[in-house]
Amino acid sequence: MSASLQKGINALKEVIDAPVASFFASCVHCGLCAEACLFFTETDDPKYTPIHKLEPLRRVYSQEYTLLGRLGKMLGLSKPVTDDELENWSELVYDSCTMCGRCSLVCPVGNDIVYMVRKLREGMAVSGHAPDGIRSAAKRTIEIGSPMGVKWPAVQHVIKDQETATGLTIPIDQPGVDIMVLLSSMEVMNYPEYLGALAKIFHKAGISWTLSSEAFEATNAGIQIGASDLAREIVSRIVVAAEKLGVKKVLSPECGHAYMAIRWEGPNLMGRPFKFEVVHVLELLDELRRAGKLKMKDKFTMPVTLHDPCQIVRRGGVLDAPEPLLQQVVTDYRPVADRNIWNWCCGGGGGASAIHEPDAEALRFKVFQIKKRQIEDAGVTTMVTFCANCRIVMEEAIDHYGMNTQLLGLTELLAEHLED
């Protein structure tokens, strides 16, 4: 056994806990999880059945933690997990799983399958079987500060542009303010207006805020790849900066995995609760809306539908803010059938969009067909969402299919129609 494989298996042994044992003990192979997974529904290939993606983890559990499994291992009857197998499994654990968590909602025995996928990724990452794309994104985050290689000077450039566009000052490294704002590289690169939008909204609502030059990046490729040590290092930058500035709240950007990383995984990676509250930008905006501080000068009149990003809604629990906020700014909202916690993934979450292998990309376009049907059924040409990654993944697919659909970010849309 290679040293890296041994490390991987040790990592798996480490992450197996009572829920995992209970889940594996309960699985009856009914296959219902497949029906909830877009990688199965859009390909009809049974290998994409979510519980099957966990097979290496199941075998380690069985061989290490059950009486019969240990007996089988002693007698040489069980099939050990090998490097080749994990290499082959990379496609099932990364390319074809976006950690959207829909399977965890349907399992009749109650298995939280995505909880286990996250754990299997720990072993995959340690044994060197994570895809290059996510691996290099994690490396760039550690070395440069962001997964897309965006450095602080690039952010400063965006700040200048947005200050000019809005006529407002964007505060940097201000201690003692209410909110420290985090960004995702995607936003810095592709939707710099997000920052200007926030500046306008905070100015109107009279909220004090700041960016930190030490920690602006909210996304965490360490979590996507499944490497807790990297994930911890990335999160700790934010925690150190926020606690040094003494802010009350840290604002997670629209980006889904950023929210998951800082809000739910972050404290567990650090092993302690934070001294500040983590709030998703939509939660904050909805609070302002309810307080009557988010008034619109006019509304967007074309018919729109909404894409709920998995990590923010189904897995993150921001359930009630998105729809009222959207209705605040549009006149013709047409909900899709599977919405809120039942929404279908864009196909590129969980780091999948960072994998640039041709097969993975082709698969991503294929599974996008479910979103395509949702958009067509809603009968709209505009879809609003609140995750920069969802947006880019869907824009690529929309181009691929030559669809006449525009995508808008909810925060920007609100900012654009905000009362002056």
Partner 1 sequence: MSEMIFLAWVRGMGLNIAIGIFLLGTIWRLIEIYTLGRKQDVAAPRHRSGASGWHTMFRRSLPIPGIMQRSPVSYIGGYIFHIGLAIVVFLFAPHIKLIQSLVGLSWPGLPSQLIDAATVVTLAAMLVMLFDRINKPVKRFLSTFEDYFTWALTFLPVLTGYMAVKHLALPYATMLAIHILSVELLLIVLPFSKLFHAITVFGSRWYNGDINGRRGVPV
Which stretches of the chain bind partner 1, using CB under 8 A? Answer: 16-23, 25-32, 34-36, 40-41, 44, 46-47, 49, 51-52, 65-68, 104-112, 115, 263-268, 271-274, 277-278, 314-317, 319, 338, 341-342
Of 35 and 178, the one with the shorter C-beta distance to partner 1 is 35
Contact by Cβ (8 Å): 408, 382: yes
- Token pair of 6, please? 């041994």
Cα torsion 59, 61, 66, 71 to 10°: value is: 40
What minimum distance in Å lies between the beta carbon of 20 and partner 1? 8
What minimum distance in Å lies between the beta carbon of 286 and partner 1? 13
Of 283 and 361, the one with the shorter C-beta distance to partner 1 is 283
Contact by Cβ (8 Å): 296, 331: no
Beta-strand runs (E) in 93-229: 179-181, 209-211
- Token pair of 377, please? 């059924």
Contact by Cβ (8 Å): 12, 122: yes
Strand partners, 210: 180
Beta-sheet pairing, 382-385 with 209-211: unpaired
What minimum distance in Å lies between the beta carbon of 312 and partner 1? 11
In eight-state DSSP terms, residue 349 is T
Of 264 and 333, the one with the shorter C-beta distance to partner 1 is 264
On the CB side of 139, CA atoms within 13 Å amount to 9
Of 283 and 412, the one with the shorter C-beta distance to partner 1 is 283
Closest CA to 408 of 337, 321, 333, 349: 333
Q: How far apart are the first and last CA of the chain?
A: 66
Residue type, 411: T
What minimum distance in Å lies between the beta carbon of 17 and partner 1? 4
Contact by Cβ (8 Å): 288, 419: no
What minimum distance in Å lies between the beta carbon of 267 and partner 1? 4
Measure Cα distances from 16 to 13, 22, 28, 334, 420 in Å: 6, 10, 19, 43, 54
What minimum distance in Å lies between the beta carbon of 222 and partner 1? 16
What minimum distance in Å lies between the beta carbon of 136 and partner 1? 28
What minimum distance in Å lies between the beta carbon of 52 and partner 1? 6
What minimum distance in Å lies between the beta carbon of 46 and partner 1? 4
Of 108 and 176, the one with the shorter C-beta distance to partner 1 is 108
Of 257 and 263, the one with the shorter C-beta distance to partner 1 is 263
What minimum distance in Å lies between the beta carbon of 266 and partner 1? 7
Of 149 and 317, the one with the shorter C-beta distance to partner 1 is 317
**CA gap 335, 299 in Å, rounded:** 18
Closest CA to 216 of 261, 193, 250, 246: 250
Of 30 and 362, the one with the shorter C-beta distance to partner 1 is 30
Contact by Cβ (8 Å): 193, 412: yes
Residue 105: in which H helix or E strand, if any?
Answer: helix 103-106
Of 318 and 393, the one with the shorter C-beta distance to partner 1 is 318
Of 52 and 204, the one with the shorter C-beta distance to partner 1 is 52
